[in-house]
Amino acid sequence: MNAEPIRVRVTYAKHGNLRFIGHLDLQRLFERALRRTNLPLRYTQGFSPHLRLNLASALPLGFIGIAEQMDFWLDEQLPLEEISARLWAALPAELILKDLRFVSNQSPSLQASLLSSDYEVILPMEIDPLDLQGKLAALLARDTIPVQRRKKSVDLKSLILDCGISGIPAKPVMTISMKSTPLENGRPDELLTLLSMDPADCVITRTKLNFLEE
Amino acid sequence: MADFIDAFVIGEAEEVALELLGSFEECKRSKVSKQETLLKLSQIPGVYVPSLYDIIYAQGGSITRIIPAMQDVPPFVIKRIVPILPPHPTHLIVPNIETVHDRLSIEIMRGCTRGCRFCHAGIVNRPVRQRPVSEILQIIEDGLASTGYEEIGLLSLSSSDHTQILELTRAVYEKFHDRRIFVSLPSLRIASFSVELMDELRDLRPGGGFTLAPEAASPRMQAIINKPLDNTVIEETVRMIFEHGWLSLKLYYMIGLPGETLEDVQAIVDAGKRVLAIGRQIRGNRVRVHLSVGNFIPKPHTPFQWYPLNSMDELQTKLDLLKTGVYRTGIKLSYNIPETTLLEAWLSRGDRRLGRVIHRAWQLGAKFDAWGENDNMPFWRQAFTDCGLDPDFYAYRQRAVEETLPWDHIHTGVTKKHLLRELEFSQAGKTSPDCRQQCYACGILNTFGDKRPVSPLVYWGCP
């Protein structure tokens, strides 16, 4: 076995019906897809070896992701084109491969270097965008925006980096940028709920993951 | 089921499915009526068209005769078999979410020669046929490549009885031990050999416990159901299971078997305690013992088909005895709710008139009956009343051996004479050892003997 594993970074989109499968299911789906590629995959050492696979951030159920990221490792160097072709063949239609590249083993893990996430929300038809804009301004003007998570209270205010509504009046789209570090993770659905919307009525897309610059 | 289903394939569908579709397609193309289509389908051996049979009932409600409603309809339907197990599917749908049995399942053998008298599968899947090792290895290879599964299950009714099982486990280890897969091998006989088999798989064994199915605990009940087990063999097997690394053991038992007394039920608790003591002696307090107890339902086509179901009170008394017995012993007990068993008994032992009951119960709101939180029993009882039928007639009646049973026109290849002889043996406490050693003339060879492959490479369990 090659001492130094080859780290491959995948950027992918998750959409269609597949947006309704959860994080753990997605992880298992990737594992099985990768096994179908018959690539020389790297496994963890130890008592119960697992495929080395690292998803940057759990995408909430129902969200579309258009630039999600994941790392996996190979035991041998292979041309990127070959890895790409085999992975394309193994993935279901609603997981789209957008980019594939090699990454140094020295660079930090995706989770550790993730800073924030950008979202786009297509609002329900019956929402008056101007009215919503007013509500949003009022909300953001507050010093704190406490929300309840299980038994814990979290201040949403400190998690929102940027938020606005564009495309008024014809095609209103809300853009949200929120912290997503292991310790502080903003959830756009919480913000939508505070604005009196049902997140299930919105189409929410995570458009970008922002990482610490190396 | 005549009210809901137009045609059934009885037995193994691999070959007859194509004949059925071909015939159906032809009927569609020539635009014949549904009635004519059904008559045509009934001509295919193994296809049962219930509407083409008339049932004559006696005064008391039992069946006098089942007769073909038209000329050309066969008087009874003999199940279909495939003489050689056909190619195994390897290109399977891989679910995107976790499901039950989320693994590559491979049928290594069909049928069972043990002849347990409660067992429906053991009768209807005769004769025993098995796949050779080389074929199974190829199925695993192709299946893993196409699915990406990380676990395979080698399935059969009694895997220790596959004549090449040791060779198979060794070959599987040899060929796949560096593929990071797990191999589960359920349905093993209670014998130290089964533990040796699992040992052959070494680190391919999935985590979790070992499962054994004694089904009955007292020697008397074991003889009645024809699953005799020497106590020393059980203890030796259990000892070996704990010594070879397992910490948890699950034991399957049944209550409500014919002739069962409370002492026989107590024997289940005692067996659980003995097993736990052995485990603790070897591995200490980390050992877990789980008794999983099912309620016996007398199944059609088995030697026990004439018996009544235990009453709800009897089952409850037995369950209470079990619950009290395991209280504060550290043994985990799981069991079925007697009323769910009763519903299953009606459905599996009923005749054609039950179609109306099912429809009525559904109209009244009976849905998701297996979901514990729904109490649908009032709907079912009401449905029986509305249809003028007595539920107890189906569940609690000892049926006479002369009686025509609702399924008597469906032939599994095993004769009623054989079932009756097994019933008599059972009542006399006599066992019938594995039929690979001695043929009991169950009827399979008479019915399907001409299909038996001449090649000695194709394994049939019959002598």
A80-90 vs A23-37: helix crossing angle, rounded to 10:
120
Rounded Cα gap, residues B254 and B436, in angstroms = 26
Judged by CB atoms closer than 8 Å, whether chains meet at B146 and A35 is answered as no
pLDDT at A1: 54
User: What whole-number distance in Å separates Cα of residue B22 and Cα of residue B436?
Assistant: 38
Question: DSSP character for A52?
Answer: -
SS3 A68: strand
pLDDT digits (tens), chain B, 463 positions:
899 999 999 999 999 999 999 999 999 999 999 999 999 999 999 999 999 999 999 999 999 999 999 999 999 999 999 999 999 999 999 999 999 999 999 999 999 999 999 999 999 999 999 999 999 999 999 999 999 999 999 999 999 999 999 999 999 999 999 999 999 999 999 999 999 999 999 989 988 899 999 999 999 999 999 999 999 999 999 999 999 999 999 999 999 999 999 999 999 999 999 999 999 999 999 999 999 999 999 999 999 999 999 999 999 999 999 999 999 999 999 999 999 999 999 999 999 999 999 999 999 999 998 887 778 999 999 999 999 999 999 999 999 999 999 999 999 999 999 999 999 999 999 999 999 989 999 999 999 999 999 988 889 999 8
Nearest to A21 among B96, B147, B149 (CB): B96
Q: Has this prediction a pTM greater than 0.80?
A: yes
- For residue B342, the model assigns a pLDDT of 96
Q: Search chain B and give the residue with CA nearest A44.
A: B180
Strands A152-155 and A146-149: antiparallel
* B148 vs A: CB within 8 A: yes
Q: Name the DSSP letter for residue A75.
A: S
Amino acid at A56: A
Tell me how close the Cα of A143 comes to any Cα of chain B, in angstroms.
Answer: 42
Q: Inter-chain contact B148–A28, Cβ cutoff 8 Å? A: no
Q: For residues A94 and A194, give the distance between their C-alpha atoms in angstroms, rounded to a whole number.
A: 31
- Which residues does chain A have with pLDDT short of 50? none
Cross-chain residue pair A25–B96, CB shorter than 8 Å: yes
Distance, in angstroms, between A87 CA and closest chain B CA? 12
Structure tokens at B415: 């004769």
CB A166 within 8 A of CB A172: yes
Q: How many CA atoms lie within 13 A of B77 on its CB side?
A: 25
Predicted pLDDT of residue A47 = 74
pLDDT at A2: 54
- Contact at CB, A18 and B96, closer than 8 angstroms: yes
- For chains A and B, what is the number of CB pairs under 8 angstroms? 34
Residue ranges and CATH numbers for the domains of chain A are 6-107 (3.30.70.580), 113-211 (3.30.70)
Q: What is the CA radius of gyration of chain B?
A: 24
Q: Closest Cα of chain A to B283: distance in Å?
A: 20
The torsion angles phi and psi of B222, rounded to 5 degrees, stand at: -60, -35
Give ∠ CA A59-A62-A67 in degrees, rounded to 5. 45
CA-to-CA distance for B337 and A78, rounded, in angstroms?
Answer: 58
CA distances to A27, B93, B142, B249 from B98, rounded to whole Å, are 11, 13, 22, 25
Q: Is B150 on the interface with A (CB under 8 A)?
A: yes
Give contacts of B150 with chain A, Cβ < 8 Å. 31-32, 35
Q: What was the ipTM of the complex prediction? A: 0.89
A201 token code pair: 């009525």
Residue A25 is nearest to which of B98, B146, B147, comparing CB atoms?
Answer: B98
Cβ(B397)–Cβ(B308) below 8 Å: yes
* Residue of chain A minimizing CA distance to B205: A48
- Cβ A36–B98 below 8 Å, yes or no? no
Reduced to 3 states, what is the DSSP secondary structure of residue B136? helix
**Per-residue confidence (pLDDT) for residue B456, from 0 to 100:** 83
Nearest to B405 by CA among B306, B298, B313: B306
Report the distance separating Cα B223 and Cα B227, nearest Å: 6
d(CA B92, CA B153): 14
Distance, in Å, from the CA atom of B221 to the CA atom of B411, rounded to the nearest integer, reads: 28
* DSSP 8-state secondary structure symbol assigned to residue B391: H
Strand order in the sheet with B151-155: B104-107, B151-155, B182-184
A124 DSSP assignment: P
CA R_g for chain A: 19
Q: In angstroms, rounded to a whole number, what is the distance separating the alpha carbons of residues B448 and B450?
A: 5
